[in-house]
Amino acid sequence: MTLNFIQIILVLIVSFLAGMEGILDEFHFHQPVIACTLIGLVTGDLTPCLMLGGQLQMIALGWANIGAAVAPDAALASVASAIILVLGGQGTKGISSAIAIAVPLAVAGLLLTTLVRTLATAIVHIMDRAAEEGSFRKIDFWQWVAICMQGLRIAIPAGLILAVGAGPVRALLEQMPDWLTKGLGIGGGMVVAVGYAMVINMMATREVWPFFAIGFVLATVKEITLIGLGAIGISLALIYLALSKQGGGSGNGGSSNNSGAGDPVGDIIDNY
């Protein structure tokens, strides 16, 4: 697939926003499901990019910055894999290949992230001197410089991929053997399971495990649509909030047990 000038500009804008949001975390343009969908929207290849973003999002669930450890770059993985998928012109058949390329790109993106954050450290010192001078204009200027550096961190690699063109990208994807494509697809599925397990491990308590069980059981019922599952999830959340107003330990009008588990529903259950 060949992109016209307007599509290339829009792709670069999306890439720039994804890079900035990797730091700002306000509109979540760096999340795979959003970044890939926007790339697909501006290139006219929405369905494959949306499916790619959904699968990458499951992988990125387990990516988080913990202490000094920096997570793989979800923004670069999302933007680069979506562009490669579009340029390859394989449609939904190229999703597994794009995912196979996305994971190494995410790890390689750590080098760019480290470089940009190292440069940003010097900018912080410049802003400190501007603060001592009382110059708000300089502080704002260098803040914009630092944020734009994050945007260029993704926009420049995206531009390089676009400059290569559809021919070499398509040739690269077609040269990948079936055993490699299928193997990487299986590996990507395992990464999804590991990422989702990490999220559950952080969130799960004995009080919320029943909600997980209900959700997984209901998901196996084919007659229930995603809208129906969403309605059930909202209903369970409202029930939980209603019970939380009644429980929550002593002094909250519900439980008089001072040794509550810290969970309002759990305290109500313990009292019963």
Whether residue 241 is contained in a domain is answered as yes
Q: What is the pLDDT of residues 182-204, one digit of tens each?
A: 665 566 556 556 666 766 776 67
Check whether residue 122 and residue 178 sit in a common domain: yes
- Whether residues 69 and 152 share a domain: the answer is yes
Lowest-confidence segment of 25-39, 73-87, 103-117 by average pLDDT: 103-117
Residue 210 shares a structural domain with residue 126? no
Distance (Å, whole) CA 72 – CA 77 = 9
Residues 221, 115 share a domain? no
* Same-domain check for residues 237 and 154: no
DSSP output for 159-182? HHHHHH-HHHHHHHHHHS-HHHHH
Q: In this model, does residue 71 exceed pLDDT 50?
A: yes
Assess whether pLDDT exceeds 50 at residue 260. no
Residue 257 lies in a domain: no
Residues 186 and 211 in one domain: no
Which pLDDT belongs to residue 95? Answer: 85
Quick count: other Cβ atoms within 10 Å of Cβ 241?
10
Burial (Cβ within 10 Å: 0-12, 13-18, ≥19) of residue 98 = buried
pLDDT of residue 259: 47
SS3 16: helix
Phi, psi for 69 (deg, rounded to 5): -80, 125
Secondary structure of residue 69 in the 3-state scheme: strand
pTM of the model: 0.64
Give the C-alpha separation, 142 to 210, whole Å. 50
Q: What is the pLDDT of residue 220?
A: 84
What are 3-25's pLDDT values in tens digits? 888 999 999 999 999 999 888 87
Residues present in the chain in total: 272
Q: Is residue 268 part of a domain?
A: no
Q: Is residue 15 part of a domain?
A: yes
Q: Which whole number is the average pLDDT over 88-112?
A: 78
Domain carrying residue 163:
3-191
CB within 8 Å of 42: residues ≥ 6 apart = 7, 10, 11, 14
Phi, psi of 213 (to 5 degrees): -60, -45
**185 & 212 share domain:** no
Query: 81-96 pLDDT, tens per residue?
Result: 899 888 887 788 888 8
For residue range 131-178, list pLDDT tens digits in order. Answer: 999 889 999 999 999 999 999 999 998 998 888 875 676 566 567 677
Identify the pLDDT of residue 249.
47
